[in-house]
Amino acid sequence: MDQDEQNWWRHGIFYQVYPRSFQDSNGDGVGDIKGIIRRLPYLKSLGVDAVWLSPIFPSPMADFGYDISEHTGIDPLFGTMDDFDALVITAHENGLKVILDLVPNHTSDQHPWFAESRFSRDNPKRDWYIWRDGRSEGGPPNNWLSEFGGSAWEYDDATGQFYYHAFLAQQPDLNWRNPAVRSAIYDVMRFWLGKGIDGFRVDVIWHLIKDEAFRNNPPNPHFVEGRPPNEKILTQYSTDQPEVHDVIAEMRRVIDEFDHRVLIGEIYLPLHRLIAYYGNDLAGAQMPFNFALLSTLWSARSIEKIIADYEGALPAGAWPNWVLGNHDRPRVASRVGKEQARVAAMLLLTLRGTPTLYYGDEIGMQQVAIAPDQVRDPFEKNVPGIGVGRDGCRTPMQWDATVSAGFSTARPWLPLADDHTHENVTNLDADVCSILCLYKALIALRRKLPQLVTGAYRPVAAQGDILLYRRQGEGGTVVIALNLGPEPVSVASSSIGFGREILLSTFLDREGEAVQGALDLRGNEGVILGRSAQAG
């Protein structure tokens, strides 16, 4: 088997689509599969390699698709199975891979499996979910808390026991210690892989196995008031149990039954625990998501340390990856500022490893303030007033200056950003210095220079707001210099090497400029330096 083809995800660029918000094709204000098909030429022109879709399966939508009621269907809100088949075919014809979300930790409480499980204590599917008696003195079995507020245990009057839900009460957790549950989910994987998808992003993969004794979680000594209340306890016994790696190895074996597929894990854990999810080359997830850039202090030294620690901790043969935004975290342009969003783009697309883009980040979409009467996110509804709502990063894609930004002919399910009439794909594509054109230029340069894909990462000592590193490999060496501050700075020629020229600036106005002596950077500017022969 050709290794380049088998490991396409190592040199690919992933693009996350939140289907509800990408493109509406039928005028109901909600995005759908036909809308995604319509926009595939845009994704091809952007230069990405794989489209990852958040859930599109049948669901009551208590958590907007992460509460699945049927694993092998398409929710009518998004279209039909024929629409999905057409999406896979059309994407592949355009050179794009398709990645689906796998949500194995929990189902909807309306799933037929759960209906059977809660029917009686002796139902054959009772042990498919996590049922426990309450404490002798009353109350839930232990102190575990839901990510979305309150106890993680829900009492069921009919059978007199509690069931566990790490998220909403409408999302009961499956019992992954039950071999029948594992087998059923693996068959779900085979169903979609058989339809031609190219892999899965596995939701909350570190949650799958819980402590067998259901011990109380310890208190969090570093809890800060104003943070989500579930953070008052550490998830020592409710997540990241050693046995989860056996499950991931089994998932990987299912993936490997099919050629050229990838397994990606969603994992919010400290670095020293994250890297265990790589397993060995054949037993772990090929890409446990690295979310370090989503929460770090946006400073040169903080980012430099994150990169060094991650590169230093990766197991032999493991492939790095980087993420700047997703459907759960505030938009990068709002986190770091409009000017630094361009520098962030250059960072993402020049670090060693596979980058994942979140829809709309390439046009600098901002976090949208959601009025109380427009809140849709159950997290915000359950834990209001502390800013945990995720609606603001899920607003409709801004395509043009027409009604509803070209997303729909109807009122969108979430409000549009105030700037959508001018900050949109049509306008920015026509502006040769826009952030969208920067993303396209970065992706094109990444394809042209193999060292930006497979080259080694070599940090260069720097001070202040400058982040400096080299990418060395086939094709030679390029230098990336990023000014993470607002003031102009100068970088000594001894740090970047002599005889270089600017291949790309985040301002898109210095390409081909020879660097004589020191490199002068404007505030909030990043550049890629090389030799003209490399870019030719």
Distance, CA of 135 to CA of 131 (rounded, Å): 13
Strand, helix or coil for residue 38: helix
Catalytic residue among 257, 281, 418, 474: 257
Beta-carbon count within 10 A of 255 CB: 19
Residue with tokens 């599969």: 33
Question: Within 13 A of 487's CA, how many CA atoms are on the CB side?
Answer: 5
Find the catalytic residue in 101, 203, 266, 423: 203
Token readout for 82 is 């024929």
For helices 338-350 and 435-448, the axis angle rounded to 10 degrees is 10
**Residue 311 phi, psi (nearest 5):** -60, -40
Distance CA 536, CA 431 (A): 24
Strands 466-473 and 519-521: unpaired
CA dist 427 and 524 (Å) reads: 23
Identify the H or E element spanning 131.
strand 131-132
Provide the pairing of β-strand 97-102 with 50-53. parallel
Yes or no: say if 284 and 277 are a contact pair by the CB < 8 Å rule: yes
Helix (H) or strand (E) holding 81: helix 81-93
362 catalytic? Reply is no
Sheet with strand 501-505: strands edge to edge: 456-459, 466-473, 476-483, 526-530, 501-505
Query: What is the number of H-type helices and E-type strands within the chain?
Result: 19, 18
Q: How many residues does the chain have?
A: 536
SS3 assignment for 354-421: EEEEECCHHHCCCCCCCCHHHCCCHHHHHCCCCCCCCHHHCCCCCCCCCHHHHCCCCCCCCCCCCCCC
Q: How far is CA 460 from CA 46, 54, 306, 335, 470, in A?
A: 30, 38, 14, 26, 7
Which tokens is 365 given? 């979409």
Catalytic, 511? Answer no
Pairing mode, if any, of strands 199-202 and 161-164?
unpaired
DSSP state for residue 151 in the 8-state scheme:
B
The residues annotated as belonging to the active site are 203, 257
